[in-house]
Amino acid sequence: METPVFNPFVAAINGSLYVAGGTSATGGSDALQIFLPHWTSTFGIWQTRTPMPEIRAQGCGAAVLGDDLYVLGGWAERPSGDGLPHRDVFVFESRRNRWRPSRPSEDEKKMPSLPTRSAQGIAGVIDGKVYVTTGARGVAGEWPGFLHVYDPKPNFWKQLASSAMPHVSGAGGVIRGKLYLTGGLCRIGGEYKDGGMTEAYDPSSNTWTSKRSMPTARGTCASVVLSNKLYVIGGHDGTNRVTVVESYDPAADEWASEPSLLRARDGCGAAVVNGVIYVFSGVVDRTGKPAEVMETWRPGGKWTAKVIETPMPFAVSCAFVAVVNDRIYVAGGSTQRRSTAETQAYRPENNWWGSIRPMPEARYLGSGTAVLNDEIYCFGGWDDLPGSEQLPHADVFVYNILLNQWRRSSSSNPAGN
């Protein structure tokens, strides 16, 4: 070991031992040292990597998510310090041999709320910026189709060109740097009803382009992106819930029929982990009862009902869904009786659902979910709680996976927007 230390941060990643910081014979250390136990068949070696951004020792431990090392808090142990431990988190990306600091605390840099009340839209990340559509904002008979972009660096929102159709409770996703929207409530022949219209947004020109329509007009459908194709799953066609699954290939501007779900459902959640599409919950009958059976499908195969070792604690519809480090997170949604703030996580590797810290408030039918730096952003949404305004919200809830904590955006006054 090049620099012997005590009270360091220690963790194992892919069979190698990582030792960060600590206190050496000469004082606090910022060194990152790695022991490779199988350097040869007979012995291992110590190596150094990029030092930590600052000296740290006697922290709150180290954790590993994926291939990243998280160093939590600790003392600086330098004469110029304030004599207090730190609350920041340093993250070492082992594949890139680089450190990044944790995001500023809520007090230091609070994300602004959406510029408008927003619900029943889609969110996606392009080049580190979050694009959010607004299908509904609570004004009777008005379906705006707004598009806003959030840039984390200057920490502000900007309104962009609106889509031709509002796509209220439609489907969408990001493919090769463009945002695609399809289905949902559209303006057809002078009236609004569930349609199949498809549009693509190009950030480089701030323009929308009409694409080939989805064969099955529907709304409250789920969607995922896999292998540069958009898969639209289930939903409601205005009369009935459907089992239909269709895929869109932007390169060919073509739709294709895929194997149908085993059970019709709308408002369901969908996610992709390791090439497998997981579909869960969603309303299955007129009582509003959410489905309790999860279905899985790998393109080219058949849908199967998955037997869950530990069932989903709260079956919900119209929730916020995200995937981080091969785990599926489901926040909020609507149960058979009311909206909820419950947050749940599913681990495909051990087929297990569990409850984690709830959202700050109940939300459902939001304007999508995005993942930035392993944090989950949930945009807008409705609640149906007693005494509420019965209007969609403009706030943003952000979930920090490592700390199992939520924070909310700064307050705004979206009245009239």
What would you measure as the largest C-alpha separation in the chain, in angstroms? 79
Q: Which pLDDT value is given to residue 83?
A: 54
Q: What is the DSSP letter of 239?
A: S
pLDDT per residue as tens digits for the range 30-76:
899 999 987 766 678 999 999 988 888 888 899 999 889 999 988 87
Q: Which pLDDT value is given to residue 411?
A: 72
CA 52 to each of CA 9, 27, 30, 100, 153: distance values in angstroms, whole numbers, following the listed order: 11, 15, 5, 9, 22
Q: Which residue type is seen at 357?
A: R
List the one residue out of 106, 118, 134 whose CA is nearest residue 414: 118
- The CA-CA-CA angle for residues 339, 181, 322, to 5°, reads 45
**Distance between CA 253 and CA 227 in Å, rounded?**
15
Q: What phi and psi, each to the nearest 5 degrees, are found at residue 345?
A: -130, 140
Burial of 153 (0-12, 13-18, 19+ CB in 10 A): exposed
Q: What phi and psi, each to the nearest 5 degrees, are found at residue 375?
A: -115, 145
**Distance between CA 163 and CA 147 in Å, rounded?**
7
Q: Domains in the chain, start-ordered, CATH in brackets? A: 9-101 (no CATH), 123-408 (2.120.10.80)
Would you say 113 and 410 are in contact if contact means Cβ atoms under 8 Å apart? yes
3-state helix, strand, coil in the chain (%, to 5): 0, 45, 55
Q: What is the pTM of this model?
A: 0.77
Helices (H) and strands (E) counted in the chain, each on its own, are 0, 36
Q: Which pLDDT value is given to residue 195?
A: 95
User: Does 376 have pLDDT greater than 70?
Assistant: yes
pLDDT per residue as tens digits for the range 117-127:
999 999 999 99
How are beta strands 171-175 and 178-182 bridged, if at all?
Answer: antiparallel
Q: Which pLDDT value is given to residue 402?
A: 75
Contacting residues for 87 by C-beta, under 8 A, at least 6 apart: 73, 105
pLDDT per residue as tens digits for the range 321-363:
999 989 999 999 999 888 999 999 999 988 999 999 999 999 9
Q: Which pLDDT value is given to residue 103?
A: 57
pLDDT per residue as tens digits for the range 358-369:
999 999 999 999
Tokens of 219: 């709304």
